[in-house]
Amino acid sequence: MNLKKTKWWQKSVIYQIYPLTFADANGDGKGDLKGIIRRLDYLNDGNPNSQTSLGIDAIWLSPINQSPMIDNGYDVSDYRDICPTFGTLADFEKLLNEAHQRGIKVIMDLVINHTSNQHNWFIESSSSRDNPKSDWYLWQDPAPDGGVPNNWLSYFGGSGWTFNQQRGQYYYHTFNYNQPDVNWRNPDVKAAIYDMIRFWLNKGVDGFRLDASSVYSKDQYFRDNPMKFGATDKNDYNNQHHLYNKNLPDNHQIIKEIRQLIDEYDDRVILGETFIDNRLYDSVVFYGVNNDELHLPFTFEFAFSPWYPAYLQQEIEKKELLTPAGASPTYFLDNHDIPRHLSRWIECSLCTNPKAIAKAAATILLTVRGTPLLYYGQEIGMVNHLNIPPEKARDKAVANPQSGESVPSRDGARTPMQWDDSAQAGFSFGKNVEPWLPVNENYLDVNVENKLKQDDSILNFYKSLLRVRKNSEALQVGRWRTLIYYPYEHLAYLRETEHESVLILINFSYEKDLGLDESIEIPMWEVLLSNKRKTGKIIDLPEKLQPFEVSILRKS
Q: What is the pLDDT of residues 529-546, one digit of tens each?
A: 999 999 999 999 888 999
> Would you state the pLDDT for residue 350?
55
Question: Mean pLDDT lowest for which of 8-17, 100-109, 446-455, 516-525?
Answer: 516-525
The Cβ of residue 195 has, within 10 Å, a number of other Cβ atoms equal to 12
- Distance in angstroms (rounded) separating the CA atoms of residues 140 and 152: 12
pLDDT at 404 over 60: no
What whole-number percentage of the chain has pLDDT above 90? 82
E-only strand ranges, 97-242 = 105-110, 139-140, 161-164, 169-172, 207-210
| pLDDT tier at 556, thresholds 50, 70, 90 | confident
pTM of the model: 0.95
The Cβ-side half-sphere exposure at 467, using a 13 Å CA radius, reads 16
CATH of 479-555, picked from 3.40.50.2300, 3.40.50.150, 3.30.1360.120, 2.60.40.1180, is: 2.60.40.1180
Q: Are 400 and 162 in contact (CB under 8 A)?
A: no
The mean per-residue pLDDT over the stretch 420-438 comes to 93
pLDDT at 143 over 90: yes
Question: Residue 441 catalytic?
Answer: no
The mean per-residue pLDDT over the stretch 279-303 comes to 84
- Distance in angstroms (rounded) separating the CA atoms of residues 25 and 58: 21
Q: Is 443 exposed, middle or buried (0-12, 13-18, 19+ CB in 10 A)?
A: buried
Task: List every span in the chain annotated with CATH 3.20.20.80.
Answer: 3-114+187-219+249-466
What is the separation, in whole angstroms, between the first and last Cα of the chain? 22
**What residues contact 529, with CB distance under 8 A and at least 6 apart?**
461, 464, 465, 468, 535, 550, 551, 552
pLDDT at 374 over 70: yes
pLDDT at 294 over 90: yes
pLDDT at 400 over 70: no
Task: List every span in the chain annotated with CATH 2.60.40.1180.
Answer: 479-555
Among the options 71, 109, 211, 334, which is catalytic? 211
Q: Are 86 and 69 in contact (CB under 8 A)?
A: no
Q: What is the pLDDT of residues 343-371, one digit of tens each?
A: 998 765 555 688 999 999 999 999 999 99
- Distance in angstroms (rounded) separating the CA atoms of residues 297 and 258: 14
| pLDDT tier at 517, thresholds 50, 70, 90 | low
Question: Residue 292 catalytic?
Answer: no
> Would you state the pLDDT for residue 230?
93
DSSP string, 141-162: PPPTTSS-SS--B-TTSSBSEE
Among the options 91, 273, 293, 334, which is catalytic? 273
CATH code of 3-114+187-219+249-466, in short, is: 3.20.20.80
The mean per-residue pLDDT over the stretch 9-14 comes to 96
